[in-house]
């Protein structure tokens, strides 16, 4: 088998693909080897201004485009994405370390985002308001304007696709800055949109210094709305800056998802699916199950089965079909996770498995399980975003729900039970943007996705998918002088 080739990286500005030649670049590294595999062109201030100008100039024509024509472009792009699954799966393995077995689901989800938003864009309805005699009143929904979007490295296909699809289907134009760690997958999606017939300037893709680019985009009067997925600290900073300019935002931030495992659960099957889900993408998923609260009557059987599954995972080269867990994104993330684990152990936590780096090449870390963790440990309160699971026993469901809420996060939550009463209590008590029971459901296009508390505000997907990208215009028309 020939070695996979990482493509040349570019910027997309006003329909022009701009290569890395004769400009500053950033290295893109393969997290499995630490080797540099690409040179990413850095957008200058003038480049970003060109992208903003293009989005502003093309906004009127794009918003006035027949919605059915916009839908046709998005549907065609979705089809092109589906036809290139193998290519994009390889890109994600090279630049993000996502195992080949996990890649197709993300690529197909990227295509689903375009299909969902295309269909929903034909259902953007206004309202006719009851009016006095001789007056017609209505409220219409219109695109907010050019959008700036920022997507993370841990979902290199689905996350930029969701933001592109929502903005474009709503009739907005877009400047997007995907993550510098994983640029090729986002560029491959942009290529599908261009090939599908998206007019030049409607979508612009830039990379570079995240702070400088975000500051420039937020300050521009042309940019009317922002969408960001990433960490809580960065989200706070962007929200503060956007507030100075009265720019609305969608913020999908971190998570620290609890899992409540009730006494009526089959501990062996629940533990196995929990472990397989926990270590997917090396735990680098904002909705990854992390804090496991297990009823004391089944605790030992559950955790033993969980550890057995974790220790049996094949950790290695993401380009191997046998690999179940690849590397972390880079050594900085590995060090951050290891620091949290060692802090917990130093405070009295029990390390049941893992807790160490694997090998001396690449950012591989062993699937880790911690028990007996004191409340003072940082890992209870900071999102680990890595391959570590935390365990604690509980006696009553009220206690478990209180523990689930004992963080500043509120993105995803999970529970295992067959009791209708337990489901009702968990549903009513647990503070989170999403709750999955007896399963682990991801951010599917048909469900509104987002968090509460420090996990952000606004929603992506579902029937609410355009709420951040549209605004209301109220129209009152006097139709009679009588």
Number of other residues whose CB lies within 10 A of the CB of residue 36: 12
Nearest of 138, 136, 116, 140 to residue 63 by alpha carbon: 140
Q: How far apart are CA 71 and CA 382, in angstroms?
A: 41
What are the Cα distances from residue 440, in Å, to 287, 423, 434?
9, 15, 11
Q: How far apart are CA 64 and CA 54, in angstroms?
A: 16
Please check whether residue 416 is in contact with residue 374, taking contact to mean a CB–CB distance below 8 angstroms: no
**CA 412, 413, 414, 419 torsion-angle sign:** negative
Instruction: Kindly give, in sequence order, each residue whose CB lies less than 8 Å from that of residue 481, ignoring residues fewer than 6 positions away.
Output: 134
Q: How far apart are CA 102 and CA 108, in angstroms?
A: 11
At 271, list the tokens.
């533990």
Residue 286 annotated among the catalytic residues of the structure: yes
**CA 400, 403, 408, 412 torsion-angle sign:** negative
Please check whether residue 390 is in contact with residue 290, taking contact to mean a CB–CB distance below 8 angstroms: yes
Residue 192 annotated among the catalytic residues of the structure: no
Which member of 252, 382, 383, 460 is catalytic? 252
Q: How far apart are CA 277 and CA 283, in angstroms?
A: 8
Output the CA torsion 231→234→235→237 (10° steps).
160
Round the CA-based radius of gyration of the chain to a whole number and report it: 23
What are the Cα distances from residue 172, in Å, to 19, 164, 225, 245, 390?
26, 10, 10, 19, 42
What are the Cα distances from residue 112, in Å, to 166, 197, 367, 444?
12, 19, 31, 8
At 4, list the tokens.
């996979």
Tell me the DSSP string of 25-53. Answer: EEEEE-TTT--EEEEEEPPPHHHHHHHHH
The β-bridge partners of 11 are 18
Which member of 172, 192, 286, 465 is catalytic? 286
The β-bridge partners of 394 are 295
Q: Could you list the active site residues? A: 252, 286
């Amino acid at each position: 088998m020939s070695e996979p080739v990482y493509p040349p990286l570019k910027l997309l500005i006003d329909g022009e693909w701009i290569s890395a030649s004769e400009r500053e670049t950033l290295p893109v590294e393969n997290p499995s080897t630490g080797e540099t595999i690409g040179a990413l062109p850095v957008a200058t201030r003038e480049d970003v201004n060109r992208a903003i100008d293009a989005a502003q100039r093309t906004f009127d024509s794009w918003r006035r485009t027949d919605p059915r024509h916009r839908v046709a472009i998005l549907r065609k792009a979705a089809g092109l994405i589906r036809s290139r699954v193998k290519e994009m799966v390889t890109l994600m393995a090279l630049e993000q370390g996502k195992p080949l077995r996990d890649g197709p689901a993300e690529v197909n989800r990227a295509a689903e985002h375009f299909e969902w938003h295309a269909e929903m864009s034909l259902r953007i309805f206004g309202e006719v308001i009851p009016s006095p005699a001789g007056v017609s009143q209505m409220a219409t929904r219109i695109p907010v304007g050019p959008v700036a979007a920022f997507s993370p490295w841990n979902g290199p296909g689905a996350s930029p696709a969701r933001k592109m699809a929502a903005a474009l289907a709503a009739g907005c134009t877009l400047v997007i800055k995907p993550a510098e760690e994983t640029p090729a997958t986002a560029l491959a999606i942009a290529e599908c949109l261009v090939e599908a017939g998206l007019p030049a300037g409607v979508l612009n893709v830039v990379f570079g210094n995240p702070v400088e680019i975000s500051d420039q985009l937020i300050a521009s009067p042309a940019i009317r709305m922002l969408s960001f997925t990433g960490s809580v600290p960065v989200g706070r900073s962007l929200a503060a800056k956007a507030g100075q300019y009265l720019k609305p935002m969608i913020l999908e931030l971190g998570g620290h998802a609890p899992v409540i495992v009730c006494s009526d659960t089959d501990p062996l099957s629940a533990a196995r699916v929990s472990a397989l889900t926990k270590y997917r993408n090396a735990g680098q998923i904002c909705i990854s199950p992390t804090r496991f609260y297990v009823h004391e009557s089944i605790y030992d059987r559950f955790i033993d089965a969980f550890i057995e599954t974790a220790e049996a995972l094949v950790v290695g080269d993401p380009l191997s079909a046998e690999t179940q867990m690849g590397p972390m994104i880079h050594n900085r993330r590995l060090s951050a996770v290891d620091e949290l684990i060692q802090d917990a152990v130093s405070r009295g936590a029990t390390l049941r498995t893992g807790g160490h780096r694997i090998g001396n090449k690449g950012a591989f870390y062993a699937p880790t399980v911690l028990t007996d963790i004191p409340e003072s440990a940082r890992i209870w309160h900071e999102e680990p975003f890595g391959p570590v699971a935390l365990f604690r026993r509980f006696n009553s469901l009220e206690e478990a729900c209180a523990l689930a809420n004992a963080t500043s996060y509120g993105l995803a939550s999970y529970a295992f039970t067959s009791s209708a009463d337990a489901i009702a209590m968990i549903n009513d008590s647990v503070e989170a943007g999403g709750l999955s029971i007896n399963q682990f459901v991801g951010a599917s296009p048909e469900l509104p996705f987002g968090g509460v508390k420090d996990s952000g505000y606004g929603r992506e997907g579902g029937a609410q998918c355009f709420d951040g990208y549209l605004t209301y215009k109220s129209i009152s028309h006097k139709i009679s002088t009588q």
